[in-house]
Structure 1
């Protein structure tokens, strides 16, 4: 789907009995979204601890990622960070409910925006901005809250379950628009037109348009050069965005940083190294809220052993 005209549409086939469990699940998400915020936050943390107890493989991956990235931490420090991380994982489910079903006024009630005054200047100058985000557990809610303030385009990965995909797309496009992650031409087009496009280059996407670049204590992390491709082809600005949960339990802080001053538009490998520095900064604003459960360092240079065995 390269634009809204190709968005998922309702089909009678979505009512087939094989999808009833998805309809029931989404219905429960709608009901949960109307619970008081503090109740959702409390239940989310409890859910996260249950996930930590029963999903041993994810716990092992997250623990290994913390060990690789922060070797200077003691075992006790990493264990405390891991526990808090899983609590935030549980919160992510409730925040998805909020993102899909909360009205705009309720989103605004819990959001504090910093740096968003820059957007008026970008629009006045017709400057496209590649908004670099990271996969924090609250990214779904962050995308919705971003759109409540100012619309943009999010890079979207369709879900294989058509019912879930239909609801997911509707939830994500209440204020924003979406572009299929494979439609690079559409992303470049929108950036050239002065739009804001969300992009998250922090995962290991495999050996396709990649470079080996340092990430925390890992000297060779497989890093997409897609950031360079989009920026160099559109001549847009590149800026980082983060959303963090406030420790007080009252809401979130959305921060749009000033554009990167020295982005290397003419060097793909240098841009991967440069971008990872900003990825690190974004993660460190709330490392307990980052998705450490993914195998971020699964790709290795030829001849080097896996970091997860």
Structure 2
């Protein structure tokens, strides 16, 4: 991406942050439906994922679900303007919070906030940092300019942005110092430090980092989900009770529990999970590729 293209993206995002949320969301949703009408690699990935995870659905049902997902994905990119450039007050006005724990407890034990890749995950992470110091893990993008922009804007309220490849020692140090760490471990990042466990009945390459970091940092693991509310009302951040007996003595068992928990949340709003990612990119030995 050249300098002009990057400047145009920043200008658009800043412009979106000044428009009413409903206008931006409707525009993104409409364009997402239009994009779905054309063949693309991402459309193929979404349909493969849905076929593997929801084999009981008809082709028509999966097609409708995929179209709704494209609407949400396109919306999420347009809404980055509000999420990355909006004020703390504007974000708070858009988000309902339902938390089973005290989010403002400065004496809380070491905590890993375990998120999942629903389309609104970013806004939940950003919101927390407007209240208390936190660290958030991110995966570096292929485009350096966009990566630096995302890192800067995600951390503008004080969140310490940490690249996912950072040594575990630094993350454990943050946990032991009392700073919560936000991360998501539901994507396929390769077979290193991962296990193959079921995800909707399909073996999925699943990171074991949550268990290992929680064990080393003596941290509780608190799941959270940020969903898009209907009728363009904004978002809802749900923070759950800490997982019982987590981590266990088995990283594989913990990964199974994580995936099972995620499945339950996906079934509540399946169109909002990030099916555009190749969740089954890596396959168990001897298994054929699916994409």
TM-score, normalised with respect to structure 2: 0.93
1:179–1:186 contact (8 Å) kept in structure 2: no
1:156 paired residue among 135, 138, 152: 138
* Secondary structure at 2:26 match in 1: helix
Asked whether 1:241 is paired with 2:205, we answer: no
- Deviation >4 Å, runs of 4+: none
Deviations 1:34-78 (A, max 9, x none): 111111111010121232234521111101101111112222221
Asked whether 1:260 is paired with 2:243, we answer: yes
Deviation at residue 248 of structure 1 after TM alignment: 2.5
Deviation at residue 284 of structure 1 after TM alignment: 2.7
1:69–1:216 contact (8 Å) kept in structure 2: yes
Query: Residue 71 of structure 2 corresponds to which residue in structure 1?
Result: 87
Q: Distance in 2 between matches of 1:299 and 1:191?
A: 31
1:247/1:225 CA distance change after superposition, 3 Å: same
1:149/1:94 CA distance change after superposition, 3 Å: farther
Superposed counterparts of 1:132-281, under 5 Å: 132-175=114-157, 176-183=159-166, 184-218=168-202, 220-281=203-264
RMSD of aligned Cα (Å): 1.7
TM-score, normalised with respect to structure 1: 0.88
Q: Distance in 2 between matches of 1:94 and 1:150?
A: 27
Number of residue pairs matched? 289
Q: Distance in 2 between matches of 1:49 and 1:240?
A: 31
Deviation at residue 171 of structure 1 after TM alignment: 0.6
Q: Distance in 1 between matches of 2:134 and 2:269?
A: 24
Deviation at residue 116 of structure 1 after TM alignment: 6.2
Q: Which has the larger displacement, 69-78 or 57-66? A: 69-78
Deviation at residue 225 of structure 1 after TM alignment: 0.9
Deviations 1:169-222 (A, max 9, x none): 22111122211111122211111222211111111111101111111121x211
Gaps of 5+ in 1: 1-16
Q: Distance in 2 between matches of 1:74 and 1:54?
A: 21
Deviation at residue 117 of structure 1 after TM alignment: 4.5
Deviations 1:140-189 (A, max 9, x none): 22222232243311102233433323321221111222111111222111
Q: Distance in 2 between matches of 1:214 and 1:263?
A: 18
* Secondary structure at 2:287 match in 1: coil
Gaps of 5+ in 2: none
Asked whether 1:76 is paired with 2:66, we answer: no
